[in-house]
Chains A and B, each alone.
Chain A
């Protein structure tokens, strides 16, 4: 029995020494350790995602040929209409670039779109994130915006070899500038995720709303758009809708409101990561070791 107690005491002493060493160890050691455990889990996450895809494949395969033919025909029509629109927008884009060059206006960042499947979702009061099945190997970089269609999903926070972690719009670590729909003065507001307190829908906070701003009439949901400033998110992407009304803050001449994401972020199967073609100065800061 004494031997047991002595052994336990020695173990606690060894643990205390290890804790001290762990605190004093360079952050590279801790980062390497974290990375090793992430990579250990990555194959299982891929397997999980692929088995989900397989289940979807078999579910779709069980549909009738007539149903699939009808879906294919509808898709072809949509594609034809979209091709016309793409040509139209290409002309506008060229015109825009030409005008920007003439006026020496800042050229907006260009992005490479990487489509990624969602492997798993994870949320608590302190984080709301998804893991996607694309990583460093596919050219994804930390800080890259993640979208679905024209809706912002979040931002890449950590990149591993074959997987990446994405902080959702509602996650406490998320921050972004935005415009409100119907605001003709284009006042800039701030959107940041809030720690989730309930079992309800996760929301973000919209702050620095000017006092004289009023929501759209007729109960129409007010959309919140990205500004494109800072070079992280392209402009005019939808961040979500203003939830309910606005309320006055205790300090300053501003109002606040809550933002509901325009899509159910926990039901997404696929997202697009917009990787900037040229690294912007902000990315260097994001890649710092304290960024999590």
Chain B
């Protein structure tokens, strides 16, 4: 089904909104509850490559839309990650593999937006290592814990859309 990626994006959106709500709660600590990388894992296992690419791009643009990040930075990086993941599906063959990939992808994507934001920011900052470490730690934990419920929702939607189960090759 050609529009499966769009329907899947709409089904994933409540999770992104939930993450925004959590960021709202964490606002006084200057931490962002980042899950965009995690949301990419299940679709990359089952969708066709072009569908995964479109899904990843929209996921990135949704995060960027309300934040001062250089346009397209996160979205295009997520697209590159989606191409890599959909070309190396054996990496996500089982649950431990998926969890490992989710943590790495989420932390990597988090690092990308952090660096991109620092580039766009009008003010220089010193001693950011502590804050960056906290942000990456949070992204890693959220990426690992959040994967199961998010993937469960996404797999249920893909089952309803008759998307074939995860093959080893695209």
User: Is B1 engaged at the interface, CB distance under 8 Å to the other chain?
Assistant: no
Question: Chain A CB within 10 Å — which of B27, B49, B117 has the most?
Answer: B27
On chain A, the residues within 8 Å of B134 by CB distance are: 199
Other 12 A-B pairs with CB < 8 A, given A7-B87, A124-B30, A198-B131: A4-B170, A15-B53, A22-B76, A38-B65, A120-B24, A123-B30, A127-B68, A173-B123, A195-B125, A202-B30, A266-B27, A292-B68
User: Is B130 engaged at the interface, CB distance under 8 Å to the other chain?
Assistant: yes
Interface residues of B: mostly helix, strand, loop or mixed? helix
Instruction: Give, as a whole number of angstroms, the nearest-CB distance from B26 to chain A.
Output: 8
Q: In whole angstroms, how far apart are the Cα atoms of A292 and B117 in the complex? A: 11
Among B67, B68, B72, B128, contact of A22 (Cβ-Cβ < 8 Å): B72
Q: A5-B87, A33-B61, A41-B66 are in contact. Are A172 and B122 (CB under 8 A)?
A: yes
Instruction: Give, as a whole number of angstroms, the nearest-CB distance from B81 to chain A.
Output: 11
User: Is A40 engaged at the interface, CB distance under 8 Å to the other chain?
Assistant: yes
**Interface stretch of the complex, out of B15-23, B149-157, B158-166:** B15-23
Residue of B nearest to A12 (CB): B83
Q: In whole angstroms, how far apart are the Cα atoms of A34 and B72 in the complex? A: 9
Interface residues of A: mostly helix, strand, loop or mixed? mixed
Interface string of A1-29 (1 = CB under 8 A from B): 10111011001100100110010000000
List residues of chain A with CB under 8 Å of any chain B CB. Answer: 1, 3-5, 7-8, 11-12, 15, 18-19, 22, 30, 33-34, 37-38, 40-41, 44, 48, 120-128, 131, 157, 165, 172-173, 192-199, 201-202, 264, 266, 292
Q: Is the CB of B83 within 8 A of A124?
A: no
Instruction: Give, as a whole number of angstroms, the nearest-CB distance from A126 to chain B.
Output: 4
Interchain residue pairs with CB less than 8 A apart (15) = A1-B169, A3-B169, A11-B49, A15-B53, A33-B71, A38-B66, A44-B17, A48-B21, A120-B24, A121-B24, A123-B28, A126-B68, A127-B121, A131-B66, A195-B128
